[in-house]
A and B are shown apart, each in its own frame.
Chain A
């Protein structure tokens, strides 16, 4: 009889409460023993089991039961059961941040925080190229995988509108002022990280745009004279917010076509690759008075100013190194370090520590940075927000307020990071005039503060400074603009044709008009709150 058949037979006997044929009047316990015996020791050759075999099994079973009961009893006698411990709050938070971006600092600062508070921080580095998607998936799935997420300016509205982020106002109110100093955060970040009247994030890293240039070249008398002669009497001005983009184009052309190649082969460095080209174009567009939407939220991304901005961008590209269409920000830094470009386009001020290395690599080179050409640049920051699905919100807030607070940001600045706090940016410890050792890391701090003040001062009240960031679809529109601007820059579309296409794409993304997209908001559409 096979094992399966034995079990089936024993079960049949057991549940039918029938005695085995050779053992009349034996039910219940004997059937159980029989079942066990059949499972443990199968019949062979069709022989019936002997009473002796069943007795042996029964005795063994009883012995096992007695031993188990004795052991358990002894355990409870010697170690009385302790009452269950009260639930303790979770002591670990997971922080999703950019891989390879001040990662060492992130790990170090997390350890400092753990030593201080006992809350462990797990730093999850995610490649920037996929950070948006990866975080989105966890937030949308409400997995709570990341207690703290790293939010960029163009996706905060999207995530806040979807209810994925925890509002921070109640946490800020509960926190002593000296620990958070909310008003110390640069004003435009407080504005952009607020949605619907609630604060959803605190910034810890800024990459606002300014401009970088080789001050030594702009100060050389022979180059200045060359420019004056070539331009018909104009002075060679240093790039800053007072310079217009037409002037910048002229300077780029000058350095590219007039200045000998052994001094300067190209005119400007641009990040015209698939990742950042739209950031550069937007800065030019805003400085010309253009925008994605007008005051009434009509789409004007294809209006005259935006098209002119794109035309200027395409002209600038002619004076950039040949690989500009595949370049990202690190490529432009490398071009500066190799002495290929005299200045950048609208460029992230946080890259000062990399740009300044040019002074060590090129004899006589002197780097400088300033407010963005035209007075307007892309405002970018990495902010920390709490996932609404986090199971450790309080612990997450402790880390968030510490990292983005005065102490954490001071520590970040000491590590060479670009902070978003005015008090730290203007602290004498980080002023190269007072503390020259900080020059390679903090020379750009004043430019950051000046850029912020310019933005809030010059932007019309209804832009404050860039209202597009308040739209929940801003993230998607931003991604779409990357591709279209890249296509125009590559010559695959004309500036006007490409921006017309972008305008329709915006309308499609926003769901305005079907089947023909409409560039004006439909009746009854509610503008996003501030």
Chain B
């Protein structure tokens, strides 16, 4: 009897990976769904089925959750509005034949390879109100400096600056790959017809780069919505709740209060939100 290798072999080869994926992703997901319908408190041993009450609670305007969500959206918009144009600018620069391009390209990837928690600890000291280097340089330039991590108005900005420093190179690298794939012919034609650099950028580069820019933005938005490390390393969610982003709020609910059910409900709703956004955005890219 001949065994149909072509039918079974691919499954056999991906079996170990499937087990890993199921074990690390789907199983916790099912567990989270299970707990989201329960009132589980690890500390007291309480574990009652309560149906949709956890969802009811978070949709009935839990003010702390609402604050965290709005803060997270502000953080994401703030980061994106700086990282996308800056990343594009860096990519355009690296796309030119300039001296030291290769070295510069290697240097800008350094923030990406560092662990956010470790780097965050260093940035915490860089933001120090007395001997921090950032405060020193800003004072040199502007004569005064905000109290970065101790001022509720500036603490979120300090996180935005950190995230921009770390992830703009990521945007730049994605866009650089796109720029390097652009055909030269339209530019040559434009040059012949007397188009300026700005016109070339506006009418040729930007339209052709739109799918890649959108893709880079999607990657960043998904990452920004689940930002946790900088908060844990630099501000601990403070002052007060000024930098308590959604992930940190979830951590507090899940690991300070150990309200497992409520934390599971929040994380699931968050997951649905991200999936919905990703699907819509990818459909948009497909149409471009």
Contacts and interface: CB of A to CB of B under 8 A. Distances in A.
A275 interface: yes
Given A274-B236, A322-B147, A509-B257, A162 B3 contact: no
A140 B42 contact: yes
A486 interface: yes
Interface stretch (A25-33, A247-255, A487-495): A487-495
Contact of B128 (A323, A488, A489): A323
A326 B238 contact: yes
B193 interface: no
A326 B241 contact: no
Interface residues of B, number: 29
Given A323-B130, A324-B150, A326-B149, A476 B239 contact: no
A99 to B, nearest CB: 14
A2 B240 CA distance: 70
B45 interface: yes
A234 interface: no
A274 B238 contact: yes
A325 interface: yes
B130 A321 contact: yes
A254 B2 CA distance: 95
B235 A326 contact: yes
Contacts of A338: 130
Contacts of A161: 44
B78 interface: no
Say what secondary structure dominates the interface of chain A.
Answer: helix
B129 interface: yes
Nearest to A338: B130
B239 A323 contact: no
A4 interface: yes
Interface in A322-345: 322-327, 338
Interface in A1-42: 2, 4-5, 8
Contacts of A324: 150
Contact of A487 (B44, B45, B150, B241): B241
A488 B43 contact: no
A120 to B, nearest CB: 31
B258 interface: yes
Contacts of B43: 136, 140, 158, 162, 472-473, 475-476
A9 B129 CA distance: 80
Contacts of A488: 240
Interface residues of A, number: 41
A479 B256 contact: yes
Of residues B2, B129, B238, B258, which shows the largest number of chain A Cβ atoms within 10 Å of its Cβ?
B238
Contacts of A326: 129, 147, 149-150, 235, 238-239
A210 interface: no
Contact of B129 (A158, A162, A322, A493): A322
A273 B3 contact: no
A273 B45 CA distance: 32
Contact of B240 (A140, A275, A321, A492): A492
A81 B238 CA distance: 66
Nearest to A162: B43
Given A133-B256, A162-B45, A486 B239 contact: yes
Interface string B221-265: 000000000000001111111101000000010011110000000
Contacts of A487: 239-242
A483 interface: yes
A483 B237 contact: yes
Given A162-B45, A274-B237, A323-B128, A133 B255 contact: yes
B1 interface: yes
A132 B1 CA distance: 62
A463 to B, nearest CB: 24
Given A274-B236, A476-B257, A486-B238, A492 B152 contact: yes
B188 interface: no
Given A140-B42, A162-B45, A491-B152, A273 B236 contact: yes
Contact of B238 (A273, A475, A493): A273
Interface string A297-337: 00000000000000000000000011111110000000000
A77 B119 CA distance: 65
Of residues A5, A490, A493, which shows the largest number of chain B Cβ atoms within 10 Å of its Cβ?
A490
Nearest to B239: A490
A325 B128 contact: no
B3 A490 contact: no
A322 to B, nearest CB: 5
B256 A490 contact: no
Contacts of B239: 272-274, 325-326, 486-487, 489-490, 492
A490 B238 contact: yes
Contact of B151 (A5, A325, A475): A325
Nearest to B238: A274
B140 to A, nearest CB: 18
Contact of B44 (A162, A479, A483, A490): A162
A8 B2 CA distance: 11
Contacts of B152: 325, 490-492
A272 B240 CA distance: 10
Interface string A397-423: 000000000000000000000000000
B241 A492 contact: yes
Interface in B85-138: 128-130
A13 B197 CA distance: 81
A472 B150 contact: no
A351 to B, nearest CB: 19
A133 to B, nearest CB: 4
Contact of A322 (B44, B150, B237, B238): B150
B49 to A, nearest CB: 17
Nearest to B155: A326
A104 B44 CA distance: 36
B237 A476 contact: no
A488 B244 CA distance: 15
Nearest to B158: A326
Interface string A109-137: 00000000000000000000100110010
A509 B3 CA distance: 62
Contact of B256 (A2, A275, A476, A493): A476
A134 B3 CA distance: 51
Contact of A136 (B44, B238, B244, B258): B258
A5 B194 CA distance: 73
Contacts of A5: 1-3
17 contacts: A5-B3, A133-B256, A136-B43, A140-B42, A140-B43, A162-B43, A162-B45, A273-B239, A275-B236, A322-B150, A323-B128, A325-B147, A326-B239, A476-B258, A479-B256, A484-B240, A486-B239
Interface of B: 1-3, 42-45, 128-130, 147, 149-152, 235-242, 244, 252, 255-258
Given A158-B43, A274-B237, A484-B240, 9 more contacts: A8-B1, A133-B256, A273-B239, A323-B130, A326-B147, A327-B150, A475-B43, A479-B256, A489-B240
Instruction: Please list the 3 inter-chain residue pairs (A to B) with the smallest Cβ-Cβ separation, ordered nearest first.
Output: A487-B240, A323-B129, A274-B238
